[in-house]
Amino acid sequence: MKRDHHTTHLATTLWGRKTAAVAVVTALAAAGAAWSIPMHHESITLLSGEVRTFVSRAPTRVQWEGREKNNVILVVIDGARVQEVFDGVDPVIASQRAFADLESFTSGALLMPELHAWLRDEGTALGAPTDPHGVFASGPNFVSLPGYLEILTGHAQSDCQDNECGAVREKTILDEARERAGARDAVAAFASWPILGRAVAKSPDAMVVSAGIDSLYGWAELKKTPALLRLWETGRPKDSYPGLDGYRTDVLTARLALAYIEARAPRLTFIALGDTDEYAHKGDYRGYIKALRQTDLILGELRNTLKRSGEWGRRTTVLVTADHGRANDFRNHGGAYPESARSFVIALGGQARQEGIITTSAPHRLADIAPTVRHILRLPARDLNPKPGSMLAEAIVTGDGKSMALHDRLDR
Ligand SMILES: [Zn+2]
């Protein structure tokens, strides 16, 4: 019954005034203006407004101008399909379920306007449906933990093929970045899914990791900015909906992550959002679409945060990907559904090339993301087995620093 109540509540909040909202959206999109569904936006703006007031007083903010190095924010949208991210709502699924209100989201730019505006202005996307090569999880079982570990280490894990692998047994890019960075707060991870608390790093206690409702490493770091600790404490709902067992819904994960980024200007931040996968497993296409819309607003807030962050923001590259795709029925994924191997990589700002949606020269893998992060952060390359990935030169400027990026952009 609890679940039913939530479903009703969410539906009312997010889609209750759908007709009016879609009309506004269509009109603004036609005018080429930035737009949002007002009642949808409210929840996130409200939260980040509160955060902004806190962090504008935080003394750590001056670090931005002093940290003239490249930074990375890696965002994973759990089980987001390329179909919706690039092409919008699946018309077949929407019509099967009589979701007439969703049918107006006929493109990726209409469904996820913030992401696509950012991509158009400052980014490159690999693996769109129009790309004959694509970006893939190595599998063979296309589920979350193997996908995350492939992303975070730079090679497929032969000994991890399900979500029961336990703690990660080798260093991840978070460990590597932490070893290079002097400060404990320079590397941070925020995840909705609690399992990631033991998977994002071999030494999570050397950094700041908040995964799900309960798992927190780096309490002492958060405590140095009391507003951050307060956000963590107040972001611990009694109910794990839409997930299970300690899952923290994305808006609370993102609220903490954005506040942390603004307060601490980290070198490497990992953000793992999961509502998309949770709703999809319930067969709730509307919830899945709503979660993608919310993710889009989070990315918009992230872009605004970077814009406010001076040189640090300009030197920050955002990489957006998915740990796996979904079956053609959208609900499932895994080894039985080869099509669920398909993912994507979108590079934004910082060292990202400005090519928009491109056709890649060869297939790419999730394993290519870690070498890309190492390149941007100038971490040493690693010799990994099996099948290490290679740096995504089609998405990232390979030269040295910002002047090269600028030169490269002027060159075209
Ligand atoms: Zn899943």
Q: How far is the CA of 277 from the centre of ligand 1 (A)?
A: 5
Distance (Å, rounded) from C-alpha 263 to C-alpha 260?
5
- 175, 152 in Cβ contact below 8 A? no
- CATH entry 2.40.160.20 includes domain 71-411: no
pLDDT on residue 196: 97
Q: How far is the CA of 265 from the centre of ligand 1 (A)?
A: 31
DSSP 367: G
Instruction: Give the dihedral sign, CA 80/83/84/90.
Output: negative
| Amino acid identity at 279 | Y
Domain ranges of the chain: 71-411
Q: How far is the CA of 401 from the centre of ligand 1 (A)?
A: 37
Distance (Å, rounded) from C-alpha 122 to C-alpha 56?
26
Type and span of the H or E element at 93: helix 91-96
Q: How far is the CA of 325 from the centre of ligand 1 (A)?
A: 9
Q: How far is the CA of 318 from the centre of ligand 1 (A)?
A: 23
Q: How far is the CA of 382 from the centre of ligand 1 (A)?
A: 29
Q: Locate 253 and state its tokens.
A: 């994960």
Q: Locate 384 and state its tokens.
A: 């990994």
Which residues, 6 or more positions from 12, have their beta carbon under 8 angstroms from its beta carbon? none
pLDDT on residue 406: 42
Q: Locate 380 and state its tokens.
A: 């040493």
pLDDT on residue 287: 95
What one-character-per-residue DSSP string does 118-140 give? Answer: HHHHHEEEE--TT-SS-EE---S
Q: How far is the CA of 47 from the centre of ligand 1 (A)?
A: 28
pLDDT on residue 387: 78
Q: How far is the CA of 149 from the centre of ligand 1 (A)?
A: 15
Instruction: Give the dihedral sign, CA 293/294/299/303.
Output: positive
Q: Is the pLDDT of residue 47 over 70?
A: no
Q: How far is the CA of 194 from the centre of ligand 1 (A)?
A: 14
Give all strands (DSSP E) within 147-281, no chain letters.
187-191, 208-211, 215-217, 268-273
pLDDT on residue 400: 52
Type and span of the H or E element at 51: helix 38-55
pLDDT on residue 158: 85
- 340, 145 in Cβ contact below 8 A? no
pTM score, whole prediction: 0.84
232, HSE (Cβ side, Cα atoms, 13 Å): 25
Per-residue confidence at 394, pLDDT binned at 50, 70, 90? very high
Mean pLDDT within 254-273: 96
Mean pLDDT of the chain: 84
The region that residue 29 occupies, defined by phi over 0 for left and psi between -120 and 50 for alpha, beta otherwise, is alpha
Q: How far is the CA of 291 from the centre of ligand 1 (A)?
A: 14
Q: Which position has the higher pLDDT, 399 or 75? A: 75
Backbone angles phi, psi at 71, to 5 degrees: -130, 160
Q: Is the pLDDT of residue 188 over 50?
A: yes
Nearest Cα residue to 208 out of 60, 44, 348, 322: 60
Distance (Å, rounded) from C-alpha 203 to C-alpha 111?
38
Q: Is the pLDDT of residue 255 over 90?
A: yes
Q: How far is the CA of 392 from the centre of ligand 1 (A)?
A: 26
At residue 319, the 3 state secondary structure works out as strand
Nearest Cα residue to 324 out of 388, 281, 376: 281
Q: How far is the CA of 34 from the centre of ligand 1 (A)?
A: 32
Per-residue model confidence as pLDDT tens digits over 155-178: 998 889 999 998 999 999 999 999
Q: How far is the CA of 101 from the centre of ligand 1 (A)?
A: 26
Q: Is the pLDDT of residue 45 over 50?
A: no
Nearest Cα residue to 367 out of 125, 153, 128, 177: 153
Q: How far is the CA of 278 from the centre of ligand 1 (A)?
A: 7
User: Where does 241-363 have alpha helices with state H?
Assistant: 250-264, 275-281, 285-307, 310-314
- 107, 123 in Cβ contact below 8 A? no
pLDDT on residue 385: 74
Per-residue model confidence as pLDDT tens digits over 112-159: 999 999 999 999 999 999 999 999 999 999 999 999 999 999 999 888
Among the listed ranges 19-33, 317-331, 385-399, which one has the minimum average pLDDT value? 19-33
Q: How far is the CA of 286 from the centre of ligand 1 (A)?
A: 16
Q: Locate 370 and state its tokens.
A: 């870690």
Q: How far is the CA of 143 from the centre of ligand 1 (A)?
A: 6
Per-residue model confidence as pLDDT tens digits over 341-373: 999 999 999 999 999 999 999 999 999 999 999
Instruction: Give the dihedral sign, CA 284/290/294/295.
Output: positive
